[in-house]
Amino acid sequence: MGKKGREIIEIDIKPILSALRSAYADEWMAHYNYLHAAQIATGLNAPQVASMLKARSADELTHSTLIGERILELGGTLPADWSDIPKLANSRKFDLPKSASDLKGILKAVLKAEREAIDVYKKLLAITLHKDTVTHELAEELLADEVRDEEETENLIGE
Ligand SMILES: [Fe+2]
Ligand SMILES: [Fe+2]
C-alpha cells in the first residue's frame, strides 16, 4: 500500500491484520470443507446439495482471495505453510454427520460455519469502524454474502 493509503489508517493495524489472517484461514477452510462435503454427499438429493456446496465453495475461495489481497495491501503476510491455515482459523471443527447420506446433517454443519462467518465479519466491522474504511467496506460486502449463505442454507434445511 502507498504512503497516502497507509496514512488514512490512523491506528495500530496489528489487531486488524490478525483478524484478517484468521478470516482468511476461515474462508480457506470453508472452501475446502464445502468441496469435500460436496464430494462425499450421497443419497437421493445429493446432486442438488453437492452443486450448491460446490458453488458455495467457490464463493468462499473468492472471499479468501479478497481478504488475502487486503492483508498484503496493509503490509501483512499470508501464511506460507498450509498447515498453519487450520491453526489460524477461528472455526476449528466442521461437524460433518457420521453418515454421508445425512444431507440435513451436512447442511447443518454448513449452517454453523456460515453463522460463525457472520460473527467474524460483525467483529471485523466493529474493529475497523472509523479506523480502516477500506477493510470496513470489505467486511460489509463479505457479511452480506454470509447472511445470504445462511438464509439459503436455512431454506434448504427447511427449518
Ligand atoms: Fe465466506
Ligand atoms: Fe459463506
pLDDT tens for the 159 residues of the chain, in order: 677 766 666 577 899 999 999 999 999 999 999 999 999 999 888 999 999 999 999 999 999 999 999 999 999 999 999 999 999 999 878 999 999 999 999 999 999 999 999 999 999 999 999 989 999 999 999 999 999 999 999 999 986
Q: What is the pLDDT of residue 9?
A: 61
Q: What is the pLDDT of residue 94?
A: 95
Contact indicator for 49, 103 with CB cutoff of 8 Å: yes
Distance 99 CA to ligand 1 centre (A): 25
**Grid coordinates standing for 59?**
464463493
CB-based neighbours (< 5 A) of ligand 2, an ion = 114, 146, 149
Q: What is the pLDDT of residue 10?
A: 58
Contact indicator for 159, 91 with CB cutoff of 8 Å: no
Distance CA 50, CA 142 (A): 22
Distance 114 CA to ligand 2 centre (A): 5
Distance 155 CA to ligand 2 centre (A): 14
Contact indicator for 29, 89 with CB cutoff of 8 Å: yes
Question: How far apart are the two ends of the chain, measured CA to CA in Å?
Answer: 45
Ligand of minimum distance to the alpha carbon of 26? 1
Contact indicator for 91, 29 with CB cutoff of 8 Å: yes
Distance 6 CA to ligand 2 centre (A): 29
Residue the block writes with cell 440435513 = 104
Q: Could you tell me which CATH number the domain at 12-157 has?
A: 1.20.1260.10
Distance 20 CA to ligand 1 centre (A): 12
Distance 75 CA to ligand 2 centre (A): 26
Distance CA 102, CA 41 (A): 8
Ligand of minimum distance to the alpha carbon of 121? 1
Q: What is the pLDDT of residue 2?
A: 75
Distance 26 CA to ligand 2 centre (A): 10
